[in-house]
Amino acid sequence: MTTRRETGHLLRRAGFGARPSDFEDYAGLSWEAAVDRVLDYAVLPDALAATPTPTQQRPDSDELRLGAIDVIGWWLERIIVSERSFEEKLVFFWHDHFATAITKAPPPLMANQVVTLRRQALGNFRDLLVAVATDPAMLVYLDGNTNVVGNPNENYARELYELHTLGRGNYTESDIQETARALTGWGVDRRAQGSRFRTNRHDTGVKTIFGASGNFDLEDVADLIMAHPDFPTFMVAKLARYFVAPDVSDAYIIRLADEWVAADFELRPLLRAIFLSAEFRAGSYRALIKNPLEFTVSATRNLGATVAPRLVLFTAHTMGLIPLNPPTPAGWPAGAAWVNGNSVLARSNFANALMVASRERFRERGGDLPAVSFEPMEVLEARGATDAGSTVDAFADVLLDGEIDFHDREILIDYLGGGFVPDEAAVDEKGRGLVYLLLSSPAFALA
Amino acid sequence: MPMTRRRFLKGGLAVAALGTMGATMPSVMVRSLYAANAAPGPALQGAPAGGPRTLVVLQLGGGNDGLNALPPFTSGAYHDLRPQLGLDESDGVAPIAEGLGLHPSLASLVPRWERGEMAIVQNVGYPEPDRSHFRSMAVWQTAQPAEAIEEGWIGRYLDFRAETGGDQWRAVGVDPGPSPAFRGGPFVPAVESIDGYTLQADPVYPRDQSSRLVAWQALHTAAGARTGSLPLLSRTGLEAFESMESLQAVAGDYAPMVAYPSGNPLAAALQTVAQLIDADLGTNIAYVTMGGFDTHAEEGDDHGPLLANVASGLNAFLDDLAAHGRLDQVAVMAFSEFGRRAGENGSGGTDHGKAGPVFLFGSGLNGGLYGEAPDLRNLDDGDLRYSVDFRSVYASVLEGWLGSESEPVLLGKFETLPIFRA
């Protein structure tokens, strides 16, 4: 059976956090069934399926008419509310891995890229790689669209090996230059918001990559990467450090990489093996640090709340993470990089804003406040809270999987006060203060 | 646990051991050995009366094209390499020396150059250059080209000078997060905005704020005794709390004396630096970053606006400091992880290169050119061959401006350039 602690852990990693009802839904499942339920997200209802993508909403949109904030908000809404949370987590992972930025690639192309990543997120890696290599936003961001015969541009080829597939030290400068030649000819078709291969701009000469020679093109480069001995471990290490722990062992990576090669680089069996592993299930609880998006969205989902995307965006931006606008082609930093003075204060200020803006009297007023819906009394009544201790436990159950340190519990009971009774008035002041403190606590910053 | 000077001294490791162990010792320990031998005292002598000296490090991310920022506009080789991108006087290049000018978008800096408040170190790089953004930036941030290490050069500086400085505001990153250059050292506040560097209260129950803050601190203190990342979160939270209180106590009085350009994030960050300097928090090093210099394509369209933001941001910042009587306290050092390929590519841009100029600003420096101009007829795989090691620039700043020894910070002895007035 899957415990509350395990459900919280799984849905924090393979998603953006458990909602209160998820704990009941997963409690009756074996671990294997719980993992499969996460992986088989395609059968779950898609509440936003009918919502058109930004480019469907405005099919003639170009970078002037469709703003970056529209596109980021469209994706964020889905990240916050999706039933298929693992799907959006995978899209974020691939967006971070194959980083492109909306300040260089036009917003409509970025919106289409999110759709492409969603479609390929859990399929075959080779297909994903080719889809990204010919994705219009990537062609703009790393200048593939200006990479033509006679005048190769090596920007994409370098990051393809350094960041996307092999890692530094596993290729030569000559491999980069020859690969750029092999990839010449791909360009953006602005009118169709798609890409196309322009035969007359492709270099048909012989290229030498990783010691092999031939008239290589994109498909050949993809094959050469799949056959490169450093590729499987590079990619598995990246996934394992993101989904499991930053210090997973070499043996663990090699074991998973061997299985992945045997599975012909299908992603579903790899992710399944990761989540079923003891290293993940028991060995990585709270081993990661939430990035700003994971922090803000998990707070919202854990509380069973909804929040306007712009409050999430404001906080994540303050902390240095704007979705669809990573700082460099390497995506965002991870782990301890998110622990600093600015982020500590920004996390608490988000918690405060969430509690303030969700008050009914503020919600009705609208105006400058972002829309937040959260009813602390609902959580407390559902869990039968009657005093300070049971009030702390009720919120610790949803925010910390019930895994609250004894000292933290005492500190929070002291904060509520000895005679605390969770009535409307007390909860409006101290109950919201309690949630603010739990969200500010070091334990909640961990994933 | 990072080894600070104080902890090291308590440990009492014999300095004599350096002779036999130096080659294989971890650099953290080498640094501490140097620290143990350093004579305290002269470090801050010569600092102006208005407050301690501040170095503003400006990181231009992506690889600033030095050959077009500082074009050798009369050179035939330059125009041969860059038939489209090459700049000429007819494009608005501002001549500053024989055959050398500033990019048209930097022309507003010329009065500063003429007043001797601007120095340019030409053709700076490091041995065995790496064309990866990330490796090259790490080299500049750690000051260690030979091996990948975690700790940054400013982190080492802060640890080395721990006994001379004040509190947490000795260094600051005006960014959502502190630069990797601070790693390995003490806590450095990262400030996105001064107004945001606070813990907001519940406006409906302001009277509850004090009990919230008591519990907030207690939760962070309690986590310090636990495992995993909790001690880091605990320590950082408590440092943030303390630094927030000291900042909010002094940050109220500043008002800009010049109009900072709008729509220029660098200018906004520099204004925050001016506010911190004006608050007299004892800030020695401020770090600001600006990205976007990776001009692989259509550089003619993109490079100018980037440089224009640099020039207008710096001009506003330096004028504001002057109006506050603080200009003699501040030096700015602008660097990029590498310059770009000498020849243009087929996309109207330039690919990653190996050497570029470092720009310095301030009233306390000896303005002018340092280092040799790159030889465009003797390239290394299409790239400039560097002539000044970037650690020489760091050493010059550490010794000439911050009054610090440089060897323990840079983990080696490097030639200094007379960029700063004695």
- pLDDT, residue B316, reads 98
Instruction: State both tokens at A69.
Output: 């904030």
Q: How does strand A372-373 pair with strand A306-307?
A: antiparallel
The answer to whether the beta carbons of residues B355 and B374 sit under 8 Å apart is yes
Interchain contact, A429 vs B205, CB within 8 Å: yes
* CA distances to A71, A98, B201, B212 from A417, in Å: 45, 50, 19, 12
pLDDT band for position A363 (cuts 50, 70, 90): low
Compare CB distances from A352 to B176, B200, B233 and report the shortest one's residue.
B200
Residue B280 φ then ψ, to 5° = 55, 50
- pLDDT, residue A371, reads 79
Both B130 and B234 in one domain: the answer is no
Both B263 and B114 in one domain: the answer is yes
Q: Which residues of A touch B226 (CB under 8 A)?
A: 405
- pLDDT, residue B30, reads 30
The answer to whether the beta carbons of residues A140 and A105 sit under 8 Å apart is yes
Both B32 and B142 in one domain: the answer is no
Distance CA B4, CA B18 (A): 18
* CA distances to B91, B109, B113, B332 from B315, in Å: 22, 7, 12, 12
- pLDDT, residue B252, reads 77
Contacts A–B by Cβ distance under 8 A: 195
Higher pLDDT, A265 or B347: A265
Nearest residue to B313 via CA among B368, B258, B367 = B258
Both B289 and B235 in one domain: the answer is no
Both B1 and B95 in one domain: the answer is no
Interchain contact, B216 vs A440, CB within 8 Å: yes
CB-based contact (8 Å) between A359 and chain B?
yes
Judged by DSSP in three states, B29 sits in helix
| Segment A1-36, tens digit of pLDDT | 899 999 999 999 999 999 999 999 999 999 999 999
Judged by DSSP in three states, A138 sits in helix
DSSP single-letter state for residue B264: -
Compare CB distances from B197 to A150, A338, A345 and report the shortest one's residue.
A345
- pLDDT, residue B11, reads 27
Q: Which residues of B touch A411 (CB under 8 A)?
A: 215, 218-219, 222
Interchain contact, A143 vs B347, CB within 8 Å: yes
B284 assigned to some structural domain: yes
- pLDDT, residue B249, reads 87
As a whole number, mean pLDDT of residues A292-307 equals: 96
Q: Is the pLDDT of residue A37 over 80?
A: yes
As a whole number, mean pLDDT of residues A35-60 equals: 83
DSSP single-letter state for residue B176: S
Alpha helices in A305-431, H assignment, sequence order:
309-319, 341-357, 360-365, 376-382, 388-399, 406-416, 424-426
Please state the domain count of chain B.
Answer: 3
As a whole number, mean pLDDT of residues A397-425 equals: 97
B418 assigned to some structural domain: no
Nearest residue to A227 via CA among A160, A158, A166, A173 = A166
Chain A, 163-182: which have a CB under 8 Å from a chain B CB? 168, 173
Task: Compute the half-sphere exposure of residue A317: CA atoms within 13 Å on the CB side of its CA.
Answer: 14
Distance CA A444, CA A431 (A): 17
Distance CA A346, CA A355 (A): 14
Exposed e or buried b per residue across B92-128, where buried means at least 16 C-beta atoms within 10 angstroms of its C-beta: ebbebeeebbbbbbbbebbebbeeebbbbbbbbbbee
Q: Which helix (H) or strand (E) holds B59?
A: strand B54-60
- pLDDT, residue A372, reads 86
Q: Which of A9, A344, A354 would best serve as a mutation to test chain B binding (most B beta carbons within 10 A)?
A: A344
The answer to whether the beta carbons of residues A130 and A219 sit under 8 Å apart is yes
Compare CB distances from A344 to B134, B201, B240 and report the shortest one's residue.
B240
- pLDDT, residue B253, reads 82
DSSP single-letter state for residue B340: B
Interchain contact, B199 vs A345, CB within 8 Å: yes
Distance CA B3, CA B6 (A): 8
B119 assigned to some structural domain: yes
B415 assigned to some structural domain: no
Name residue, tokens 């967006």.
Answer: A95
* CA distances to A134, A326, B64, B339, B390 from B294, in Å: 21, 14, 7, 10, 20
B421 assigned to some structural domain: no
* CA distances to A237, B70, B264, B291, B292 from B307, in Å: 39, 11, 11, 11, 10
Compare CB distances from A339 to B131, B133, B233 and report the shortest one's residue.
B233
Distance CA B200, CA B216 (A): 12
Residue A99: exposure state from Cβ atoms within 10 A (0-12, 13-18, ≥19) = buried
pLDDT along chain B (422 residues), means of 10: 30 26 30 33 39 93 98 97 97 97 98 98 96 94 93 94 74 93 93 92 96 98 96 96 92 91 97 95 95 94 97 98 97 97 93 96 97 95 96 98 96 97 86
Instruction: State both tokens at B269.
Output: 């960050």
Distance CA B335, CA B83 (A): 26
Both B182 and B233 in one domain: the answer is no
Both B179 and B218 in one domain: the answer is no
Q: Which residues of A touch B352 (CB under 8 A)?
A: 158
Both B7 and B83 in one domain: the answer is no
B150 assigned to some structural domain: yes
Comparing alpha-carbon positions, the chain B residue that sits nearest to A247 is B228
Both B167 and B31 in one domain: the answer is no
- pLDDT, residue A48, reads 80
Comparing alpha-carbon positions, the chain A residue that sits nearest to B169 is A341
| Residues 6 or more apart whose Cβ sits within 8 Å of residue A361 | none
- pLDDT, residue B42, reads 34
Closest approach of A96 to chain B, Cα-based (Å): 15
As a whole number, mean pLDDT of residues A71-85 equals: 94
| Segment A180-199, tens digit of pLDDT | 999 999 999 877 778 999 99
Q: Which helix (H) or strand (E) holds B320?
A: helix B299-323
As a whole number, mean pLDDT of residues A84-109 equals: 95
Range of the domain at B4: 1-37
B244 assigned to some structural domain: no
- pLDDT, residue A360, reads 76
Q: Which residues of B touch A443 (CB under 8 A)?
A: 223, 230
Distance CA B23, CA A232 (A): 36
Higher pLDDT, B26 or A232: A232
Interchain contact, A408 vs B243, CB within 8 Å: no
Distance CA B96, CA B99 (A): 8
- Paired with A208 in beta bridges are A213
Closest approach of B178 to chain A, Cα-based (Å): 7
Both B119 and B260 in one domain: the answer is yes
Q: How does strand B171-173 pair with strand B285-290?
A: parallel
